[in-house]
Amino acid sequence: MSLPAFLAALDELALAASTAFAAADDAASLESARVEFLGAKSGRLKAVQQGMSAVGGADRPAAGKRFNEVKQQIQAAFQEAQDRAGSGRAGVVRDRDFDPTVPGRPFRLGRLHPITQTIEELKDIMGRLGFTVALGPEIEDEWHNFEALNIPADHPARDPLENFYLASALAGSPSASLSASLSASLSASLSASPAASPSASLGSGEPATGSRTGPAPLLLRSQTSTVQVRVMESREPPVRIISLGRVYRPDTADATHYPMFHQMEGLLVDRRVTMADLKSVLRLFAASYLGSDVHIRFRPSFFPFTEPSVEVDMSWKDRWIEFGGAGMVDPNVLRSVGYDPEVYTGFAFGLGVERLCMRRHGITDIRELYKNDVRFLEQF
């Protein structure tokens, strides 16, 4: 057989096979086509292959090469037909070009703010320790923000420039001029009489606002201890609460300061509450938060509403890290809410949520927390 004749026979075979496989529309017809073209004993491909021996020796390689191409072509056509007819698994049509590496259709889950996540963690831990969350207003009167907390009228913490007083509620002209603030602070100082001391208003719920003439000054709370006062005013011990929320202090915004931030404060008032209870509760808190064996260290400090007052450190990875402030509730505070300090004692502690949150997540600039860039929010 001449080479051209052999090649022509191959081409004819390839065309016939692809037509037959394409036409096969069920398993039976596909099988008969398979036997006709690819049958091992008497298939047409086998027959053509046998004709190759008649091709002249010099043409043999070319004939063999072409034969193999056609053979693969016919086998591929059969495979495709088999896929289409589902003869591999009954009733299943293959989809060999499906690309599982293509990303899924976007399904967007939002994220909770890292401050919220930290607060929820703190609430969970303190809840397990028996502390219930208490809420209170962010705009406060001077009684709850200062006087009931043993911060008398001439205390530097009450300086109008150290707080966000509300202009509309300030008595007299809300002028921000230096001389006005000077005379305002002086007159506040000079009018500070014993009658203004917290103990003078023992047991009374809202003495400060009720007894004043003119509009009572209001301010954005500078601490969440205000909530503790409100809770204690409203019920008898035992009190075991945490208060959480936004507080405001006139700090210039930089990497570690922001004029608005979040505090968590805890309060436990009952009979026979001691500083050993405080230390033990804080150790349980620290162990829950850091998840390992920790210790608590007290360093003496000063806060108007606690005495003794301490700075609290917790040991973490072989070093002391600052936790926050704490102490035993000052007897003047207990008296100001109508509790008898001879009967009850209590402890209080407070910490800045931002600092914990930033350490937890490795955030180095507090301002990132309030920029609300979704690329930031999506990291948590």
Partner 1 sequence: MLVSWNWLNDYVALDMTPAELSHRLMMAGLNHESTTAVAGDFCVDLEITSNRPDCLGHIGIAREVSVLWKRGLCIPAATPAASAVPVAGLAAVAIEAPTLCPRYVARVIRGCRIGASPEWLASRLRTVGVAVINNVVDITNYVLLECGQPLHAFDLARLRQRRIVVRETRANEPFLAIDHKTYVLPAGMCVIADAERPVAVGGVMGGADTEVTPSTTELLIEAADFLPRSIRATARSLNLHSPSSYRFERGVDPEAIDWASRRCCELILELAGGELAAGSIDVGPAAPGQPTSGSATGGATGGATGGGTGSGTGTATGSGPSTGMATAAGRAPVTLRWSQLARILGIEIPADEAARILTALGNRETARDAHCVTVIPPSWRRDLSREIDLVEEVARIHGYEAIPEDVQVPMAPSHRTDEDRVLRRVRELLAAAGFDEAMTVSVVREELSKAFSPWTLAEPLVSGTPILRGADRLRRSLVPSLLEARRINESLANPIAELFETAAIYLPREGVLPEEKWALGMVSGRDFPAVKGVIEALLHALCPTAAFTVAGTDQPLFHPDRACQLLLNGQTLGYLGELSAPGLRQFELRAATVAAELDLRVIARAAELVRKFTPLSPFPAITRDLNLVVDEAIRWNSLSTAVQAAGGAWLEAVEYRETYRDPAKDGPRKKRLLLSLVLRSPDRTLTSEEADAVRDAVVAACHSQLGATLLA
Q: Is the Cβ–Cβ distance between 337 and 233 less than 8 Å?
A: yes
- Among residues 30, 55, 310, 337, which is the contact residue for partner 1, using CB under 8 A? 310
- Considering the rule CB under 8 A, would residue 109 count as an interface residue with partner 1? yes
**Considering only residues 319-358, where is the footprint of partner 1 by CB under 8 A?**
328, 330-331, 345
- Considering the rule CB under 8 A, would residue 9 count as an interface residue with partner 1? no
Token match 């704490």: residue?
326
- Considering the rule CB under 8 A, would residue 19 count as an interface residue with partner 1? no
The binding track of 240-259 with respect to partner 1, each residue x by CB under 8 A or -, is x-----x-x-x--x-----x
- Considering the rule CB under 8 A, would residue 293 count as an interface residue with partner 1? no
**Considering only residues 153-212, where is the footprint of partner 1 by CB under 8 A?**
154, 156, 159-161, 164-170, 174, 176, 178-179, 181-183, 185-186, 188-190
Q: Using CA of residue 239, residue 242, residue 243, residue 248, what is the dihedral sign?
A: positive
**Considering only residues 269-288, where is the footprint of partner 1 by CB under 8 A?**
272, 274-277, 279-284
Which residue's CB is nearer to partner 1, number 43 or number 114? 114
Contact window for partner 1 (CB under 8 A) among 13-21, 42-50, 73-81, 102-110: 102-110
What is the DSSP code (8-state) at residue 103? P
Q: Is the Cβ–Cβ distance between 232 and 339 less than 8 Å?
A: yes
Q: Is the Cβ–Cβ distance between 143 and 227 less than 8 Å?
A: no
- Considering the rule CB under 8 A, would residue 369 count as an interface residue with partner 1? yes
Distance CA 173, CA 330 (A): 35
Contact window for partner 1 (CB under 8 A) among 10-18, 42-50, 55-63, 123-131: 123-131
14 is written with which tokens? Answer: 């390839």
Question: Smallest distance from the beta carbon of 357 to partner 1, in angstroms?
Answer: 11
Q: Strand pairing of 260-270 and 345-352?
A: antiparallel
Distance CA 92, CA 86 (A): 5
- Considering the rule CB under 8 A, would residue 28 count as an interface residue with partner 1? no
- Among residues 1, 7, 125, 377, which is the contact residue for partner 1, using CB under 8 A? 377
3-state secondary structure string, 212-279? CCCCCCEEECCCCHHHHHHHHHHCCCCEEEEEEEEEECCCCCCCCCCCEEEEEEEEEEECCCCHHHHH
Q: 121 Cβ partners below 8 Å, 6+ apart?
A: 289
- Considering the rule CB under 8 A, would residue 140 count as an interface residue with partner 1? yes
Which residue's CB is nearer to partner 1, number 79 or number 315? 315
Question: Smallest distance from the beta carbon of 32 to partner 1, in angstroms?
Answer: 45
Query: How many residues are recorded in the chain?
Result: 380
Distance CA 123, CA 32 (A): 74
**Considering only residues 223-242, where is the footprint of partner 1 by CB under 8 A?**
238, 240
Residues binding partner 1: what is the number (CB under 8 A)?
Answer: 95
Contact window for partner 1 (CB under 8 A) among 23-31, 42-50, 60-68, 370-378: 370-378
- Considering the rule CB under 8 A, would residue 110 count as an interface residue with partner 1? yes
Q: Is the Cβ–Cβ distance between 317 and 294 less than 8 Å?
A: no
Contact window for partner 1 (CB under 8 A) among 3-11, 21-29, 87-95, 363-371: 363-371
Q: Which of 110, 111, 114, 112 is nearest to 358 (CA)?
A: 114
